[in-house]
Amino acid sequence: MTQPTSKFCFVIHPLSLDDVVRYEPGAAGKGAPIIRKILEWMPPWAAVHVTGVVTPDGRETEGWFIGAPLLPEQMLEFSRDAVYDRIVRAIEIGAELGAQIAGLGAFTGVVGDAGVTIAERSPIPVTTGNALTIAAGIQSLFRGAREMGIDASEATAVVAGATGSIGSACVKLIAPRVKHVVLVARNNTRLAKFHESIAGELPCGSSYTTDISAAVRRAQLVLTATSSTQDVIQPEDLQTGAVVCELSLPHDVSRRVALERPDVLVTEGGNMLVPGPNPRFERVREPGTEFDLNLPPRTALACMSETMVLALENRLECYTLGRGIDIAKVVEIEALATRAGFTPAGMRAFDTAITAEKIAATRAAARARGAGVSA
């Protein structure tokens, strides 16, 4: 008889004022200052009940998305302990509902020491979900390269946010498949030290810079994993026919790219299809109403998916924490996710699906601008 699987919770928070309205429709029409002030004192709450996550071999889990209502800029502005307290309280609510493992979404997995202190204060094990986010992002970047006819082995790749927990692992996984990798981060001292520590191990050429615009102008492939709250990838910097995979929330790529650069393929790298005939993301306060994740049906972020996979596997452990991520864990969680029936979601950018027709149009626009994109 199959052993019952564990339950999970996942901490979410609004990434923008638009997100606040999606979380709580009653916020519509209220001014930004009022919304920000409400978020300051609003306690965490159980926002979503997740059911119907079923593996091909019949294992099933359920869980809850718990809202920790702070915007990204508030998480950076407030005292670290105040933010930790808000996140830990969200996890406690999940545990009270029956969750046995917790995942950290968006900035809740970035703030401070990337989950380490939160895990120490949490009543249940915690993961940032970064290992599966990395695996999904690498798949998406090189899928984009294939779609655009880029020979990755001859390409220059940029990793923005290279000293972060996601970016540093992505550097190591991208390097064996490209000709040159450029590491980009804001802190030059930390960046130089990191590059020095790994340059001898990388099987391709490498360099580093704090100038993201200059780096992007050199690259055919770009992966972003920053903790910035502002756009860092601008349309004027991108090469014709380039592929950009962004793993950051909030997004790193300016929406101007969608309007001004039809010859560039941008993809959100961290989305996965959830297994089961009818996975549900139901609003707790309005039973029977689906919560709008701003994603297609049956789709979840890879960090959410990692938390679900660990619950399905009864791996009740602090799986992915801190700034240094073990590449072996990336490989392991990708295999476990595949076994559980999680598959990469369709390509998507700027809240819109990337269809075969869209890819064909992007390739045609790149050829028209003179890029070496194969037919």
Q: Over the chain, what is the mean pLDDT?
A: 91
How much is the pLDDT for 2?
56
Please answer whether residues 68 and 90 qualify as being in contact, where contact means their C-beta atoms are separated by less than 8 angstroms: yes
Closest CA to 69 of 45, 102, 100, 96: 45
Residue 371, pLDDT above cutoff 60:
no
SS3 162: coil
Closest CA to 85 of 50, 41, 29: 41
pLDDT average, residue stretch 52-73: 94
Q: What is the pTM of this model?
A: 0.90
Q: Each residue of 153-199: pLDDT tens digit?
A: 999 999 999 998 889 999 999 999 999 999 999 999 999 999 999 99
pLDDT average, residue stretch 313-325: 91
* Fold of the 132-270+347-368 domain: Rossmann fold (3.40.50)
Q: Each residue of 102-137: pLDDT tens digit?
A: 999 988 888 878 899 999 999 999 999 999 999 999
Count Cα neighbours of 61 within 13 Å in the Cβ-side half-sphere: 28
Beta bridge partners of 206: 181
CA 9 to chain centre: 17
Closest CA to 101 of 124, 83, 121: 124
Apex 250 CA angle, 245 and 253, nearest 5: 45
Apex 75 CA angle, 70 and 79, nearest 5: 120
Give CATH 3.40.50.720 domain extents, the chain.
132-270+347-368
Apex 334 CA angle, 328 and 338, nearest 5: 145
Can you tell me the distance from the alpha carbon of 289 to that of 132, in angstroms, rounded to the nearest whole number? 28
Do strands 101-104 and 180-184 pair parallel, antiparallel, or not at all (unpaired)?
unpaired
SS3 264: coil
For helices 327-340 and 165-174, angle between their N-to-C axes, nearest 10 degrees: 90
Residue 270, pLDDT above cutoff 70:
yes
Encoding tokens for residue 254? 């300016």
Residue 326, pLDDT above cutoff 80:
yes
Residue 63, pLDDT above cutoff 90:
yes
How much is the pLDDT for 293?
85
Most confidently predicted of 14-23, 135-144, 292-301, 317-326? 135-144
Please answer whether residues 14 and 291 qualify as being in contact, where contact means their C-beta atoms are separated by less than 8 angstroms: no
Can you tell me the distance from the alpha carbon of 178 to that of 151, in angstroms, rounded to the nearest whole number? 9
Can you tell me the distance from the alpha carbon of 98 to that of 243, in angstroms, rounded to the nearest whole number? 42
Can you tell me the distance from the alpha carbon of 245 to that of 90, in angstroms, rounded to the nearest whole number? 30
Closest CA to 219 of 198, 254, 245: 245
Can you tell me the distance from the alpha carbon of 213 to that of 365, in angstroms, rounded to the nearest whole number? 22
